[in-house]
Amino acid sequence: MRKKIVAGNWKMNKNLAETGELIAAMKRNFENALEADIIIAPTFTNLYYAFEECKDLKVKVAAQNMHQEEQGAYTGEVSADMLKSIGVETVILGHSERRAHFGETDALLAKKVNTALAHHMTVIFCFGEELKDRKNKEHFSLVKHQLKNGLFHIKDEDWDNVILAYEPVWAIGTGETASPEQAQEMHAFIRKTISEAYSTKISDNVSILYGGSVKPNNAKEIFAKPDVDGGLIGGASLDAKSFVTIANAIS
C-alpha cells in the first residue's frame, strides 16, 4: 500500500544524551495526529535506546546501513539479525554518502537488499544523480541504471517491503533543493520505469520519497506533487520543531 512517509536520517550526529533530548522534543511536538508514517534513523549505538523510547509513538526506528553477510569476521560491521534482535526492522541502503565515501556499488547494494529482504526488513533504497549527470542530461538514464542494478532483481512480492528515496546528490546538505517540478518529473519517471519492469500495480503502490534539503519552508510544495509520497530528511531532522513541521506538511 502506498503510504505517506517522512523519515529523518540523522547521519553521524547526536550522542546518547542528545538522542534522548531530540526524541523527547519530538514527542512534545507531535501533538496533532499525523497523516504520515514517521521514521527516524539515529546512529547504530543509539538504535536500541531510540527503539525503546519510540515504542509507544507512531515512530519507527531505522538503521542507516547494514552489512550484507549474516555474521562472521567483518570487523566493525552490523548484521540484519543484530538489528532485528533490538526491534529495528527498517534499514536505509544506498545513501549517496555510503556510495561516495564507502565505495558502495550497485552490485554490493543488490546483496544488501537481498539480505534485508530475506530478514523481512523494510528497505529504504536511496539513489539519485550527481550535478554533472543532470548537466549532461543523463539524470534519467543514471537513475534507471541505479534502480536496475541495485533493485530490479527483487521479486514482485518484495516490493511490499521497499520504500524508494530519490535524492539528487547536488541537493543533499547543500541548501539547494530540486524544484517541486523537478522532483515530480523524476518521481513520475521512476514510477514509469517500475511499471515497465514490473507492473502498474507495483509502481502505483510503492512510496517514493524525495530527499535533498527539504526544510519547513519548502516541504509542503514538494509533498503536494502527486508522485511525491514524502521525504527523507537530513539536516532538518536534527531539530524537533523543523522535523515535526515537515511531517505536518504532508496532507
95 carries an active-site annotation: yes
d(CA 109, CA 114): 8
- Which of 90, 213, 242, 248: binder of ligand PGA (CB under 6 A)? 213
Binding mask 85-124 for ligand PGA (x = CB under 6 A): ----------------------------------------
128 binds ligand PGA, rule: CB under 6 A: no
- Which of 183, 232, 240, 250: binder of ligand PGA (CB under 6 A)? 232
H-assigned helices in 38-130: 47-54, 80-85, 96-101, 106-118
Asked if 238 and 22 count as a contact pair (C-beta separation under 8 A), the reply is yes
Q: What is the DSSP letter of 198?
A: S
168 binds ligand PGA, rule: CB under 6 A: no
Least distance in Å: CB of 75 to ligand PGA?
26
Least distance in Å: CB of 239 to ligand PGA?
11
129 carries an active-site annotation: no
Residue showing cell 523494510: 122
Residue nearest to ligand PGA (CB): 234
- For residue 238, give every residue at least 6 positions away whose Cβ sits within 8 Å of its Cβ, in sequence order, or none: 8, 10, 13, 14, 22
